[in-house]
Amino acid sequence: MALFTTTSNYQINWEQFPGLVPQTTLFLHGNLASNRWWMPTVEHLQAQGKDKAGSVICVEFRGCGQSQAPKSEADVTMKAFAQDFIDLVRSQNWGKINLVGHSTGGLIAAYMLALAPELFNKAYLLDPVGPEGVQFDNNMIAAFEAMKQDKNLTATVIGSTIHNNNAESSFFKNIIVEDAFAAVKTVGHLVLKALDGFNIVEPLKAVENPVKVVHGEFDKLLPVEASQLLAKTVKNGTFETLPSCGHCGNVENTALFVKDFSAFLYK
């Protein structure tokens, strides 16, 4: 674990796992998640050997994992999150790197391409929030408020996003649920507000970096049309369905996820 102080004076947590990929790649988690969602991916890559030239870099946005909680609602915006991560990349000597983003992290990754395309090679976006943001109904807002007080409800909500979830697994109970319950109190409900009305269609039209957008076959959380729109909006975008997966292919079928992003990013 390492804390980096951004230009807006926020401390964000990042972790580096060297030698796992041919080119250094930054991984961005989704709402209510943390770097620990990427540990199955890291472990899968470690099993393949640590002899590659690049590192896996995992980062947590404000209020998630070990990153600093937001000081106010005004500090929870997609632009602020993207700029935090751009600050980190610029502070290192990684050269051009790749991006992998999941859900809200996918939208943040796309926005990073629009803000600083010179820093990046390719981006792989897993079930991302679309470029027109997303509007959650009052029931979802109310659920997030209730989740702050009820860990079991948090488990039910976060578990519903994972296809064929094993609610009794230690990874789900001790990592996914615990991190979600902490994040929903600090930032999760504010992320919903930040996504409402957020639109980066026009900035994304200028992005020339190759982008692959994948959407789980059984993703019931976000509409497939939003992923397709994102792929169509950037100049060099492609879209594919990730078979037999829901919203969280990185934990539902880690081997397939690793194989798919590796084939795109490192060929």
Written as one letter, the residue type at 247 is H
Q: Is residue 115 part of a domain?
A: yes
Q: Is the pLDDT at 1 greater than 90, yes or no? A: no
In a domain, 246, yes or no: yes
Report, as an integer, the average pLDDT of 234-253.
98
The reply to whether 18 falls in a domain is yes
Domain tally, the chain: 1
Does the residue 250 lie in any domain? yes
Per the domain annotation, does 168 fall within a domain? no
Q: pLDDT tens, 158-200?
A: 999 999 999 999 999 999 999 999 999 999 899 999 999 999 9
* Element housing 58 (H / E): strand 54-59
Q: What per-residue confidence (pLDDT) applies to 138? A: 81
Range of the domain at 128: 2-134+198-265
Whether 121 shows a pLDDT value over 90: the answer reads yes
Q: What pLDDT is stored for residue 201 in this prediction?
A: 98
Residue 202 maps to a domain: yes
Cβ-contact 219, 199 below 8 angstroms? no
Q: In the numeric block, which tokens belong to residue 28?
A: 């961005």
pLDDT in tens, 20-66: 999 999 999 999 999 999 999 999 999 999 999 999 999 999 999 99
pLDDT score of 139: 82
185 domain residue, yes or no: no
222 assigned to some structural domain = yes
Does the pLDDT of residue 258 top 90, yes or no? yes
- Residue 65 is part of a domain; what is its CATH number? 3.40.50.1820
Query: Of 124, 105, 133, 134, nearest to 234 (Cα)?
Result: 124
Q: Is 238 helix (H, G, I), strand (E, B) or coil?
A: strand
pTM: 0.97
Q: What is the pLDDT of residue 141?
A: 83
